[in-house]
Chain A
Amino acid sequence: MAKVITADEAAALIQDGDTIMVGGFLGIGSPGTVLDAMVKNNVKDLTLICNDTAFPDKMVGKMIVNKQFKKIIVSHIGTNKETGRQMTAGELDVELNPQGTLAERIRSGGIGVGGFYTPTGVGTPVAEGKEMRVLDGREMLFETPLKAKVSYLKAVKADKAGNLRYHATGMNFNPIMAFAGETVVAEVDELVDFLDPDDVHTVGVLVDYIVRRGR
């Protein structure tokens, strides 16, 4: 059974210095109510694992503007000028990962795999300092798993068992982050008694807390 809590309670699950994962792609499929609550409670020095930093006035982008991160692990920051400014000013440590590598590092962290070899990034700055191997005649580099204290997800529907259903491209990183957080919070548009088991994207056993959007 996932417990229904408020956005403020969800934001209070982390302290200064913690690592969080946030679902979403340019803010689509991000848990906006919980992110706004985190801006309000002003928790600081966080490490963020997310695809990108959205836009300055949207989703996780607002936390960037509010200077709540000391480090971010992302694939893209081009849509949020404040991220670039903080990086250039030396205020924010930005670790850029190829998007597929980021996804697979998160997946590895959640499914008990100790990392993986990938051809992506060979011969680029991404390969610097990484172990290399030739596998099947192809150069590959080793990537390590990622985990977080709390994963904050967004789904359109949850049921009382915590089962989640996403919609369209709002799915993105959410299903893999559901595995990789010590604690998992899902913000949802709608809470129902039961989802048809065939309709479940993320199994509820992974989900600790549900937040209803806007509450």
Chain B
Amino acid sequence: MSEVGRVLGTDDARPLDFWVAVAEGHYLQLDDVVCLRTPLPDGTEVAIYGVVDQVRARYEGARFDSDVFRAAEGVLPVGIATAAHVAVTRVEPEVFVPPAPGQPVWRAEGEERERALYFDRMEHRFPAGLGRDGQVVWGNLEFLDGTRGGHVNIAGVSGVATKTSYALFLLYGLFHHPQASQRTRHARAVIFNVKGEDLLFLDRPNARLSEAEKGRYACLGLPAGPFQDVALWVPPARYGFGELAPSTVSRQEGVTPYAWSLREFCQRRFLSFLFADADSEGGQLPLAIGAAERFLAQASEGQPPSQSWVMLPGQRVTQFQDLVDYLQDHRDEVFGAARVSAGTVEALLRRLQGSVEAVAHLVRGDLSPDQEERHRIDVQGRQLNVIDIHALHDRAKRFVVGVVLKQLLQAKDEQGTREPLLFVVLDELNKYAPREGWSPIKEVVLDMAERGRSLGVILIGAQQTASEVERRVVTNASFRVTGRLDTAEAERSEYGFLGPYARARASILRPGSMFLHQPELPVPLLVQFPFPAWATRPEEVAEGQDPWSRLR
């Protein structure tokens, strides 16, 4: 450890923050980790650790701003005083006295750095990124896996593509770090691909990964490679005969089309997820939806898994269009008992007709039992499951997300044990769990946020603006991460954990840098994560890894 300065006495030193005068020939920059010892009258020493969150330099001996010109001309002698403000992270033993002015301050390295950032107390940990000093910033796994806390919330403006990248980096670390993966070996993860076909190449190495970036993976104790165990689920092509073909453009092999059977749609009451947008709330519409769901569930009760179609009273329904038509033709039987107005029923049926185009290829009655098995999203087969929804109609997107989340939660509920863990990465939380209003997806997400810890379902949620997301979803996250924030957004109380200085910096964060707040540390840490080692676009797929590359 090297001495970098001393506690200065011209500004108040407090138990939780103080200023350090930086010695000549040394420097302290933002995010540096420092430590010092201050003596008590009884002879014991209190170790104080902290992180630099502000640095300043000024002339000493100058009276006016314009004195800078006199100094530059060689007329006025001045000194330069550099000082750094330290936010205290830890005090050992817990005697909260201010550090005595004049005490030497050291740059915390090695074990002292571990202590300053509570890494020494983390029995199980995972790499959360690299600090500005190029060393690993650890996250406490016990606060992620549900033991003492759970969930991650990531905020940041879009377009910088850091939210999903960081979520993937977290998963990569959890699954591939030798230490962390011991606890997550059987864990599963689900991520929705919402933008382009970006996430369809996670199992391929990135050709653009430089040697320097590989070095950063080495620093993290991670192999620099693609995800090892990936399942890619994509929507089926809209038109086609026989086998379902993937609808994706850039990748056809190694992907599995997903679909649900009409029978399952009825039995498991998926209908409400077709009305998951915010404007479905209010009025009697939920009543009508409930009535339709109930009718379909009762009618299909006991029908065997060997059929993907559904037998409704008086009619065998093999297409989604037919199902909607059936409801329309039998509206009196379906809605009769629910005491909803004819107008509400009309509205429901109108919307249902409107959704046929969006979801007809996802909910089908033409699957063989074997096909239904193969095309049902099963996350237990592979470690990381990418579910592509980017090209779907907005209503279909919500439907898929809602149905998948509900099924995952139900499965965990039935399973009854926390292990193996299930990580769910969900971007655009402001869409799925908005602060205002109610929707069936919001209910599932909220359920996940509140009960997920005990069920072993860990939500890695992301959104542009935390202020527009249901408060309980955000506050339940043990790990709070922010990338670049809009200045006005950063001022909101949701980002109080950043403190004043990190807030100001949040508007200039570069891609690849995030502020990470975790339960044990009172201050947010700036973490950086390396360029993806997996391909995020077709162009990035390393040559030779793709068996078809030579044929094109």
Q: Do A and B bind each other?
A: no
Residues of chain B having any CB pair with chain A under 8 Å: none
Residues of chain A having any CB pair with chain B under 8 Å: none
